[in-house]
Amino acid sequence: MTAKVPAGTRVGHIHLKVTDLERAIHFYGNVLGFTVTQRYGDQAAFLAAGNYHHHIGLNTWHSRGAGPAPERAAGLYHSAFLFPDRASLGAALQRVLDHGTPLDGAADHGVSEAVYIRDPDGNGVELYRDRDPAEWPHDVDGALKMVNAPLDVAALLAEAG
């Protein structure tokens, strides 16, 4: 039998190598809305939602001034940020668009609604909200059946208020 982590286990934070700390802080802080909780000069910063110590770590220890990681190499595909409801996801999407950040894609996965963007260093970022588990699609045998359908972006933005 394979060992299993407890059901309550969560991903606590991500820590990204970035090429320009101020530019990354602007994106994750001003565009996405996370708050800087601590800085280590011009080398690293930590950002969070709410009063948590950090959800995002950014550093330039090995990457200052370097180019983005190669697209066709092993590494992080994207980080994903779960919003508590559709209105807050719509508001985040509106901020992204207001800052001129292009969308890489948008999808309705049945279990969630997601928009995909890239940070200034080319790292993939997913902004999403989960549907109530009672609404999740299942096949005839009761197994979860996620989909990859188009997302109505205009309706999501309308939820932002």
Nearest CA to 24 out of 121, 127, 125 is that of 121
The Cα 91–Cα 86 span in angstroms is 9
Residue range 47-54: average pLDDT? 93
Which pLDDT value is given to residue 151? 97
Query: What residue segments make up the domains of the chain, in order of their start?
Result: 12-64, 78-161
Instruction: Give the confidence band of 3 by pLDDT, cuts at 50, 70, 90.
Output: confident
67 three-state secondary structure = coil
- Do 12-64 and 78-161 come out as alike in CATH topology? yes
Q: CA-based diameter of the chain, in Å? A: 56
Which pLDDT value is given to residue 39? 97
pLDDT in tens, 128-153: 999 999 999 999 999 999 999 999 99
pLDDT of 1 above 80 = no
Residue written as tokens 């009063």? Answer: 51
pLDDT in tens, 52-110: 999 999 999 999 989 888 888 888 899 999 999 999 999 999 999 999 999 999 999 99
pLDDT in tens, 4-25: 888 888 888 999 999 999 999 9
Which amino acid appears at position 81 of this protein?
F
The neighbour count for residue 102, using CB atoms within 10 Å, is 8
Nearest CA to 12 out of 50, 53, 70, 65 is that of 53
CATH 3.10.180.10 describes domain 78-161? yes
Which amino acid appears at position 129 of this protein?
R
Which pLDDT value is given to residue 80? 96
28 three-state secondary structure = helix
Which pLDDT value is given to residue 68? 85
Which pLDDT value is given to residue 4? 87
Sign of CA dihedral 59, 35, 126, 143: positive
Q: What is the CATH number of domain 12-64?
A: 3.10.180.10
